[in-house]
Chains A and B, each alone.
Chain A
Amino acid sequence: MVENGEKEQKAHTIVIAVENKSGVLARIAGLFSARGYNIDSLCVSETEDPSISKMTLTVKGDERILEQIYKQLNKLIDVIKVFDLTEGDFIDRELALVKVKTLNAAARQDIMQIASIFRAKVVDIGRQSLTLEVAGKTSKVNAMIEMLKSYGIKEMIKTGKIAMAREFNQKK
């Protein structure tokens, strides 16, 4: 349904367990583009069982769109299970590499201070730049990036979110 502009567009964190085979990512990505769903972030990797990969997706949509995404994903033969973590407690992390300009010593000092507040690591240094590695919740990563913007970000890359349900899970 298209006419749901007024309905609540909530961000959801979905984890999909899939067969670790070639072409599976294309099936999932194709499903999203064919049905007009937007993916905000996507992260894929192998799990403790090498025959299974897990994908963490963040998507936005109202309840009906999410229900359709869930059902359509389950319909794909290579999809083993879909979890919408947003329904309970979960741990999520994201990692970013940020190369930021350091035009003078004062800026460098400031940036290192910001890094220490966010528990980011300096992973590279140039004559006029510092590269920071920061990991944590998306909100924290974004907060640090926000702080660094005024110094001038030369280059930035993020992994996208990975997520896992908590062992003692309280349903919301």
Chain B
Amino acid sequence: MTGAEIMVEALKKEGVDIIFGYPGGVLLPLCDKLYDSGINVILVRHEQGAAHAADGYARSSGRVGVCMATSGPGATNLVTGIATAYMDSVPVVAITGQVATHLIGSDAFQEVDITGITRPITKHNYLIKDVKDITRTVKEAFYIAKSGRPGPVLIDLPVDVQRAEGKFEYPDEIEIRSYKPTYEGHPLQIERAWKAIKEAKRPLFLVGGGVISSGASEHLRNFVEKTGIPVVFTLMGLGSIPGDHPLALGMLGMHGTKYANYAVVESDLLIAVGCRFDDRITGKIETFAPHAKIIHIDIDPSSISKNIVVDIPIVGDAKNILSKLVENAEKLHIEAWVKKIMDWKEKHPLTYEKNGLKPQYIIEKLSGMLPDDAIICTEVGQNQMWTAQYYKFRKPRTLVTSGGLGTMGFGFPAAIGTQVANPDKIVLDIAGDGSIQMNIQELATAVYNKLPVKIIILNNRCLGMVRQWQQLFYKKRYAFTCLEDAEPDFVKLADAYGAIGYRVNSTEEFDKIIPKVLKEKEKPVLVDCWICEEENVFPMVPAGASLDQMLEGLA
């Protein structure tokens, strides 16, 4: 067998049936063997799309997403997608072609040191120099990508190794002496945590993406319902328990709800699970949760006490630890605390002026009419924050969004990957008119593969989030944020690609068209919603301010 054939067989052993990719010179031997291998290779129109699609596939399904590209520019085009997956701990395996081993280091045509370039943005990476290393490398790569704190792994495969003759012997088990993730939480720490929970007067859950990736939603919900402790979510944690659960307080942080942020400020015990205290949730770090003891449950020891000093760290898998905690769980007498929060919730709800076609209206409307298992992908910016605020995510893995890296252009290709992984579910991309243009070429991929992704463009003719900051902090000097003068006709654009396009200007038009949009099963549909240009995302904690210093709106 050739190296390329060995690679294909190894991927099959790992259960791979979909690869998002783009061919190229030094990837030809592998492409040729994949051609009739039974693995479905989805041809994207830009390698960045392949990386995001693999990412969306992984986030929405929990399986490892796979993408591939050729050497040089193909590989560098994957970089943003790999970094996106790395920041949000998503299991992706990226395969890149490389120039022949004897040419490595000679600045050959389309040569880049992609293992060097991706070293800080992958969990691990490999350059395979010998055909006999392929099987072990693939086995290790998939194991590393999905175990512990998940993350992307890159395999660089030179063209001569793809052509070399070798034997296929796939290892059943893998042992990496230097890599042993901790799954079991320390029993003494768990005991200490439970004691602190029982003693707390104002306990609060802070839930991040780790709960979703470890599959701990059910355990969390059990624990929350048994004890009655309210929950705030990071962006990545949304959907871990239903957003319309009475104890769910929505997102905290920069664009969090007032009641979530107030709760953090007043809490005396924060039980943080699978989150990493990113600056977008803590605000000014010195004044974050000033009265609270902090329990931090995370599988990555380096997340603990990195940004926030923690009182009771528990290293391990969230599902494992929550299932232990739930064994002892009992109703806590925190009625006064819960009442206080419910009063805030009533007094300071998320709100907006209801005149004209408002983005918040669109999201609320979708939240009300979509089935619980519909999956919402977002781009980055105002569209993302409105979605996080107004959509009630009711199941884990129903929000696919670039949290850590904040990658514009992520949503649409990620929606393609999501639709491939979930052919029977409704998949939406909530986009802005700026970010959708960053990977609009993937319309061709969606049309060709008959993927009925619904793209809802919240079109405000500008780069809204940056414009919002300029309005608030840069004296309304709108430097390079206006798109109006060269806004494409998105309906014609959809049409040109063979997709369906609609334009709506009012709530009535939106209400009328949306049932038809959701019914489409064959083609991607783009709905260009012309929303009010001036609409901003509120509340807002300005960068570097404390969580209780929220801006509410503009005079």
Does A34 sit at the interface, judged by CB under 8 A? yes
A19's nearest neighbour on chain B, judged by CB, is B178
Does B115 sit at the interface, judged by CB under 8 A? yes
Does B301 sit at the interface, judged by CB under 8 A? yes
A80 to B175, CA, bound (A): 13
Interface of A is mostly: helix
B residues in contact with A19, CB < 8 Å: 178
Q: Is the CB of B119 within 8 A of A77?
A: no
Q: A27-B119, A34-B120, A77-B144 are in contact. Are A71 and B176 (CB under 8 A)?
A: no
Q: Is the CB of B302 within 8 A of A30?
A: no
A91 to B326, CA, bound (A): 49
Chain A: interface residue total (CB-CB under 8 A): 21
Does A126 sit at the interface, judged by CB under 8 A? no
**Residue interface bits B285-313, CB-to-A below 8 A is 1, else 0:** 10000000000000011101111010000
A31's nearest neighbour on chain B, judged by CB, is B120
A27's nearest neighbour on chain B, judged by CB, is B119
A residues in contact with B304, CB < 8 Å: 71
B residues in contact with A81, CB < 8 Å: 178
Does A15 sit at the interface, judged by CB under 8 A? no
B residues in contact with A23, CB < 8 Å: 115, 119, 127
Does B124 sit at the interface, judged by CB under 8 A? yes
Tier of interface size on chain B = 20 to 34
A136 to B300, CA, bound (A): 39
Does B179 sit at the interface, judged by CB under 8 A? yes
Q: Is the CB of B306 within 8 A of A80?
A: no
Does B202 sit at the interface, judged by CB under 8 A? no
Q: A71-B301, A80-B177 are in contact. Are A30 and B123 (CB under 8 A)?
A: no
A64 to B308, CA, bound (A): 11
A22 shortest CB reach to chain B, Å: 8
Q: Is the CB of B120 within 8 A of A77?
A: no
A residues in contact with B306, CB < 8 Å: 68
A23 to B156, CA, bound (A): 14
B282 shortest CB reach to chain A, Å: 12
**Residue interface bits A57-82, CB-to-B below 8 A is 1, else 0:** 00000001001100110110111110
Does B349 sit at the interface, judged by CB under 8 A? no
Q: A27-B119, A67-B305, A68-B306 are in contact. Are A75 and B178 (CB under 8 A)?
A: no
Q: Identify 13 residue pairs between A and B in the complex whose beta-carbon atoms are under 8 Å apart, listed by A's number.
A: A1-B285, A23-B115, A23-B127, A31-B120, A34-B120, A68-B306, A71-B302, A71-B304, A72-B302, A75-B300, A77-B144, A77-B179, A78-B124
Listed in ascending order, the chain B residues whose CB lies under 8 Å from chain A are 115-116, 119-120, 123-124, 127, 144, 176-179, 285, 300-302, 304-307, 309
